[in-house]
Structure 1
Amino acid sequence: MITHPKTEELAKAVADWIDQVRPSLDPHNQFLARVAVNVLGVVQRELTQGPPAEAEAVRLMAELLGHPGSFAELNAELCDRIRSGELTVESPGLAPALTTMAMAQVAIDQPKYRHEV
């Protein structure tokens, strides 16, 4: 059976290649290459960590809102309820749910960030 590399594997391969050729570039292009490597890292983490993070966010938002729905629907409703004041920091479970969702996104965007409690 023929298998193809996964998208996240392709992103890593390109990032590794850029890192390999980066030292031979002029300073400006070294910087741009480093930016490209960082972007590919975000893409790779979004592909691997994004789906479970989104599934957990959907579970948390559905629990808070009291009904199921898609990520987009639940997120829009949650934002509307927070904006209107219907849900506040005192609402049971809201702060921990928002923290969990935010930290999952930070893990994708800034994996070296270490949250101190």
Structure 2
Amino acid sequence: MLTHPTAQALIDGVARWLPVDGSASPFTLRVARNALEIAARDLALGPGADVRAAGRLAALLHREGDRETLDRALVDALRAGRIAPDDPALIAHLRACALDSLAIDQPRYAHEL
């Protein structure tokens, strides 16, 4: 299961990392801006991505739940062999998740893999 910093963690990190005395270099400011832009996209696009992923997982696993619960159930199903790693529905789900992640993390990336 992949995890990433939450939008709140990114914002908190930038707040702690940036110097308050105005001595930040242009590079430091660019990194901070990029992190804040990722956080903003995560806040805007993340909830929809989670709803879509939970819907795909519910269909794949034949059960309801939130994304985190269903992600864990998917891992268990893969480990137990109840879902094959080459299952077309699984591959479609993972592809859609990757595209949603790219829309948040790297929006300039070509989203047509």
TM-score (ref. length: structure 2): 0.73
CA distance in 2, matches of 1:44, 1:100: 21
2:30 counterpart letter in structure 1: R
Q: Does residue 85 of structure 2 align to residue 94 of structure 1? A: no
Q: Does residue 66 of structure 2 align to residue 56 of structure 1? A: no
- Segments of 5+ residues of structure 2 without an aligned counterpart are 1-10, 12-21
- Segments of 5+ residues of structure 1 without an aligned counterpart are 1-10, 12-24
Aligned to 1:68: 64
Greater percentage in helix: 1
Q: Does residue 104 of structure 2 align to residue 108 of structure 1? A: yes
Aligned to 1:18: none
Aligned Cα root-mean-square deviation (Å): 2.0
Segments of 4+ in structure 1 off by > 3 A? none
Q: CA deviation at 1:80?
A: 2.0
CA distance in 2, matches of 1:115, 1:54: 18
Of residues 81-90 and 35-44 in structure 1, the stretch that sits farther from structure 2 once superposed is: 81-90
Tell me the matched-pair count: 93
Aligned to 1:44: 40
Q: CA deviation at 1:63?
A: 0.5
CA distance in 2, matches of 1:29, 1:65: 49
Larger radius of gyration: 1
